[in-house]
């Protein structure tokens, strides 16, 4: 293709609007100079009509229909693009949320365009209302779950209770990270690498634990038993020192240790401390602190008791005599 041809050709994006604007300007000019009535008289004659049952189509009606359809489609396209730009410019919204919002706005625009186009063509909307009601009832029963999941997805988008990257736990015990939030389901990646597709409705109707909703802090518990002969105050101080020494432990809330139980074999102590980011794991800090506590207890002579049972043997004399025999 030569260079002059490229300059003459109009890009595809501009050709459609230019064509529509040209048609509208032509119709306006014909109407301004009084040619539209003459054109209507000529093209709306019954001699040129096409009969299909009870319907009669004249060239004027066909032309009017085409112009109306082109006009409605063009305006709908402009409004759809405008809605897409508005949705894409919404601050602090995820890309997936912007896509869903764009689709919703486009559906609304094209629905109203369809209704307005039928009204401009003079088509009675009563029949469509009856048919639409019947179809809506059928879809309501057949697509109830799909509609419920779609609406639940919209609620999640606007409430922002579940977002991509959040660490959540479902009521059935499934835990993992949100990797994708779609119109029908939410994809959850578990700790062992599985990808679970969870319907959006479950996030609305069930209880969901979001570990990272407002912050990423998480509490870790370490339960340790010591013997009754050990120094309780020193044991509590060692456990708190071990927790504070971990690099992921935060100062607010501060680590603390409590006496929880006087058991049969020893005293149970409970250490509580918070880490800064739960998405980096809980077991690592817990294991490190437990190992440090074990070493510190050994160094300072604090015993961790184990279950002991006393055995009482009755009739010991008769038992010894039977063994000798």
Domain covering 218-299, topology: Alpha-Beta Plaits (3.30.70)
CA distance 30 to 60: 14
* pLDDT tens-digit readout, 6-34: 444 444 445 555 665 666 666 666 665 66
* pLDDT tens-digit readout, 215-246: 888 999 999 999 988 899 999 999 999 999 99
| pLDDT of residue 125 exceeding 60 | no
* pLDDT tens-digit readout, 66-87: 777 777 777 777 777 776 777 6
Domain segments of the chain as ranges: 10-123, 159-210, 218-299
Region of poorest pLDDT, from 129-138, 162-171, 176-185: 129-138
Quote the tokens at residue 57: 């189509």
Give the whole-number percent of the chain exceeding pLDDT 90.
19
* Composition of the chain by helix, strand, coil, percent to 5: 55, 15, 30
Kindly report whether the global pTM for this prediction surpasses the value 0.85: no
The CATH number assigned to the domain with range 159-210 reads: 2.30.30.60
Task: Find the mean pLDDT for residues 34-38.
Answer: 61
Q: What is the pLDDT of residue 96?
A: 58
Q: What is the pLDDT of residue 270?
A: 95
* pLDDT tens-digit readout, 50-65: 665 555 666 666 776 7
Q: What is the pLDDT of residue 118?
A: 64
Q: Which residues pair with 221 in a beta bridge?
A: 272
Q: Which of 191, 161, 3 is nearest to 97 (CA)?
A: 161
């Amino acid at each position: 293709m030569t260079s002059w041809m490229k300059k003459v050709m109009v890009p595809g994006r501009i050709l459609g609007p230019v064509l529509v604007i040209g048609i509208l300007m032509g119709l306006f000019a014909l109407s301004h100079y009084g040619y539209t009535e003459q054109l209507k008289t000529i093209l709306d004659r019954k001699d040129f009509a096409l009969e299909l049952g009870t319907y009669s189509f004249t060239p004027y009606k066909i032309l009017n229909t085409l112009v109306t359809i082109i006009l409605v489609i063009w305006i709908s396209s402009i409004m759809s693009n405008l809605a897409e730009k508005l949705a894409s410019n919404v601050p602090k919204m995820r890309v997936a949320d912007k896509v869903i919002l764009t689709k919703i706005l486009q559906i609304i625009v094209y629905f109203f365009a369809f209704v307005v186009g039928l009204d401009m063509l003079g088509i009675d909307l009563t029949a469509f209302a009856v048919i639409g009601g019947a179809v809506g009832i059928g879809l309501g029963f057949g697509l109830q779950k799909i509609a419920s999941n779609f609406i639940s997805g919209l609620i999640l988008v606007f409430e922002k209770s579940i977002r991509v990257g959040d660490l959540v736990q479902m009521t059935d015990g499934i835990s993992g990270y949100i990797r994708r939030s779609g119109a029908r389901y939410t994809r959850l990646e578990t700790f062992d690498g599985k990808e679970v597709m969870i319907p959006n409705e479950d996030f609305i109707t069930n209880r969901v634990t979001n570990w990272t909703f407002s912050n990423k802090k998480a509490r870790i518990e370490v339960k340790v038993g010591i013997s009754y002969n050990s120094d309780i105050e020193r044991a509590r101080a060692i456990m708190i020192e071990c927790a504070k020494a971990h690099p992921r432990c935060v100062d607010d809330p501060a680590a603390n240790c409590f006496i929880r139980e006087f058991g049969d074999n020893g005293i149970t102590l409970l250490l509580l401390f918070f880490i800064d980011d739960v998405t980096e794991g809980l077991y690592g800090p817990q294991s490190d602190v437990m190992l440090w506590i074990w070493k510190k207890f050994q160094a300072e002579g604090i015993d961790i008791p184990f279950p002991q049972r006393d055995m009482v043997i009755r009739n010991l004399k008769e038992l010894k005599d039977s063994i000798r025999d």
